[in-house]
């Protein structure tokens, strides 16, 4: 089975544009209810174990649809609110450095999507009854936040577009980074043998080891040296989590593109595209596509030619500067 067929079969369209099935399809992982001897040798971690390791003083949890969702809410109350949402194959730790830089002047709220980071995975009932945007809406309602600047990378940006279409009263502006607007095509990707070997090994064993994540993060970066050893370790830890049955049920997805194009056309909020131009998956042509679909939004954009698919991970300080510049100078203040 080719990589593309595996993506189509297992994940349809991870709106992040990154298919988990570059290694192992989640549907296949979920079937490992009673692992064989080889699988038992792999060091899976439960969400309880991950919480013991990675919960910190800023960690909070709330419940929506029966799911315990991990979030952080930092910065002064009364300050402008930034809601930051990570993409697939990520966690709220995507925003650690950016939150550190900006929380002195903004209220920064971020959360782990269901099934990722320290949040519960979607149950069968939640997968049937919740939509992806129900989660941020429930969190903002819980916190009494009426309006946000939504900042999203990859599929996190997809969620932002859907939220702005569904609740325009809640979203003041969008800041989107390397976000897909068409069903994701991987046929153009040219991967090094080392990454292909890591994927083949993961498909064979049902487990993505540290080497796989090193290859993954290096491949999708403009400059692999920018991805820290700590980030690489965290990716390995969070994605050796015991397989989730409904891993992508509450991820914002493009699907076949038809409904997505309808929703994107509803968005009329000022939108800032911060793009890693060295993204092998969503190159600069993807900027043209998303601009076309967001036909009623006022678009600003910055393309960073040396940066890959995850700008918040790769150049967080530069990303934070761009956020502040756009919020404070690039768009009008509605309060004035």
Q: Which of 43, 51, 276, 52 is nearest to 157 (CA)?
A: 276
C-beta separation of 151 from 82 below 8 A = yes
C-beta separation of 64 from 89 below 8 A = no
d(CA 334, CA 327): 11
d(CA 275, CA 180): 11
Local structure of residue 24 (DSSP, 8 states) = -
Q: Classify each residue of 25-64 as buried b or exposed e, where b means 16 or more C-beta atoms within 10 Å of its C-beta.
A: bbbebeebeeeeeeeeeeeebebeebbeebeeeeeebeeb
Hey, which residues does 300 pair with through a beta bridge? 272
Helix (H, G, I), strand (E, B) or coil at 63: strand
Q: pTM (2 decimals)?
A: 0.89
Q: Are strands 81-85 and 60-64 parallel, antiparallel or unpaired?
A: unpaired
Q: Which of 293, 298, 299 is nearest to 259 (CA)?
A: 293
Cβ atoms within 10 Å, residue 1:
12
119 phi, psi to nearest 5 deg: -90, 150
C-beta separation of 171 from 164 below 8 A = yes
C-beta separation of 246 from 115 below 8 A = yes
pLDDT by residue, tens only, the chain of 336 residues: 333 333 333 333 333 334 433 444 443 343 333 334 444 567 999 999 999 999 999 999 999 999 999 999 999 999 999 999 999 889 999 999 999 999 999 999 999 999 999 999 999 999 999 999 999 999 999 999 999 999 999 999 999 999 999 999 999 999 999 999 998 888 899 999 999 999 999 999 999 999 999 999 999 999 999 999 999 999 999 999 999 999 999 999 887 778 899 999 999 999 999 999 999 999 999 999 999 999 999 999 999 999 999 999 999 999 999 999 999 988 766 554
Longest Cα separation, the chain: 65
- Domains of the chain in start order, with CATH, are 3-328 (3.40.50.1820)
């Amino acid at each position: 089975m080719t990589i593309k067929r595996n993506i189509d079969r297992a994940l349809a369209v991870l709106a992040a544009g990154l298919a988990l099935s570059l290694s192992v399809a989640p549907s296949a992982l979920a079937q490992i209810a009673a692992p064989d001897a080889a699988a038992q040798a792999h060091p899976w971690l439960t969400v309880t174990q991950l919480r013991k390791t990675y919960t910190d003083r800023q960690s909070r949890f709330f419940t929506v649809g029966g799911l315990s969702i991990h979030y952080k809410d930092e910065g002064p109350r009364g300050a402008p609110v930034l809601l930051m949402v990570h993409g697939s194959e990520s966690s709220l730790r995507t925003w650690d450095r950016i939150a550190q830089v900006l929380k002195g002047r903004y209220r920064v709220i971020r959360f782990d999507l269901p099934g990722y980071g320290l949040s519960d995975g979607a149950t069968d009932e939640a997968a049937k009854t919740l939509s992806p945007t129900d989660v941020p809406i429930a969190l903002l309602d819980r916190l009494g936040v009426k309006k946000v600047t939504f900042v999203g990378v990859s599929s996190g940006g997809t969620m932002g577009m859907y939220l702005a279409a569904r609740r325009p009263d809640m979203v003041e502006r969008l800041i989107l980074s390397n976000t897909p607007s068409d069903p994701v095509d991987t046929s153009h990707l040219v991967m090094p043998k080392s990454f292909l070997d890591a994927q083949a090994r993961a498909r064979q064993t049902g487990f993505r080891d540290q080497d796989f994540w090193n290859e993954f993060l290096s491949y999708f970066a403009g400059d692999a040296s920018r991805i820290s050893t700590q980030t690489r370790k965290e990716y390995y830890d969070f994605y050796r989590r015991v397989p989730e049955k409904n891993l992508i049920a509450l991820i914002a997805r493009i699907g076949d593109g038809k409904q997505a194009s309808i929703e994107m056309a509803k968005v009329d909020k000022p939108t800032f595209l911060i793009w890693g131009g060295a993204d092998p998956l969503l190159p600069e042509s993807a900027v043209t596509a998303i601009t076309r679909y967001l036909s009623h939004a006022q678009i600003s954009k910055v393309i960073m030619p040396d940066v890959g698919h995850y700008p918040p991970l790769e150049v967080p300080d530069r990303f934070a500067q761009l956020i502040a510049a756009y919020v404070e100078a690039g768009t009008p203040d509605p309060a004035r």
